[in-house]
Structure 1
Amino acid sequence: MNIPFPGKPVRGSKTGKPVMALLDLLGRTWALGIIWQLNEQTLTFRQLQTACEGISPTLLNTRIKELVCLSLLKKTVNGYQLTSQGQSLLALVLPLGPWSNEWQAVVSAKNSLPEY
């Protein structure tokens, strides 16, 4: 498994800068989606699979292992939940939800206008 560790070269960057490792991680299929789904709730593997629109068990298992290894997720007796580090990352990401809704409205309005 090729986990993007901060301080090590990652996909697209040889510098080892932590922000590049974070962007590599968040750019992986469903990594951010898993973090998003665990906002203020603990989910079992099956619940997380359903919340992530039927992600394959193999991919979900891989992402969980990566997120646990990088201290963003932990397994509890009730399922998976964000660690304090994962919660602080989610706090940075949550404002993207309302922003993306505004962005959709702007793009939709622009694309409904006739082009000149």
Structure 2
Amino acid sequence: MSVTHTDVTAGPAELEPCGQPGHSDCGIRDVLDRVGDKWSVLVIVELANGARRFRQLQRAIEGISQRMLTLTVRRLERDGLVLRTVYPSVPAQVDYRLTETGASLTHLVKALADWSLEHRDTIAHARQAYDAQHPDNEIR
């Protein structure tokens, strides 16, 4: 153990995700992987403002490729978080909206975004200090 190592303090964070010792996953890992990935969060944030067409989503989510957006909305649709509606027109019009379950995530995503904004300067300073102390570190 290093000199700078400290023990984890006891408290509510010791609970396993299911609240019972020995049940470290309980099937939540798959769901957290989906709703916790960066593109899914950004799609949910955008759809929280209402239904969007594919190109509207793509323009709103900077840096996402057409392929990644297609995969993301399909996965969210499969998980019951996004509803895809195809309108019978030429050319076909498709829009995406949050389901009731998807909409129930928006307050959590907003809380995470608010926390990120509140702590971004502290995190940036901590990263700079860490990088200065560990110049050969490849973590970025």
Structure (1 or 2) with the larger CA radius of gyration: 2
Residues paired across the two proteins, number: 100
Superposition RMSD in Å: 2.6
2:111 match: 95
Q: Offset of 1:42 from its aligned partner?
A: 1.0
1:4 match: none
Q: What TM-score do you get using the length of structure 1 for normalisation?
A: 0.71
| Structure 1 unaligned blocks of 5 or more | 1-14
**Which secondary structure does the structure 2 equivalent of 1:79 belong to?**
strand
2:46 matched to 1:46? no
The separation in 2 between residues aligned to 1:38 and 1:91, in whole angstroms, is: 13
2:88 matched to 1:82? no
Q: What TM-score do you get using the length of structure 2 for normalisation?
A: 0.60
Q: Offset of 1:72 from its aligned partner?
A: 0.1
- Post-superposition, which runs of at least 4 consecutive aligned residues in structure 1 deviate over 3 A? 107-113
**Which secondary structure does the structure 2 equivalent of 1:102 belong to?**
helix
Q: Offset of 1:22 from its aligned partner?
A: 1.6
Instruction: Please show how residues 2-17 of structure 1 align to structure 2 within 5 Å.
Output: 17=26
The separation in 2 between residues aligned to 1:29 and 1:71, in whole angstroms, is: 18
The separation in 2 between residues aligned to 1:86 and 1:43, in whole angstroms, is: 14
Which moved further from structure 2: 42-51 or 16-25? 16-25
**Which secondary structure does the structure 2 equivalent of 1:101 belong to?**
helix
| Structure 2 unaligned blocks of 5 or more | 1-23, 88-93, 133-140
Q: Offset of 1:49 from its aligned partner?
A: 0.5
Residue 98 of structure 1 aligns with an amino acid whose one-letter code is: D
Q: 2:121 aligns with which of 102, 105, 108?
A: 105
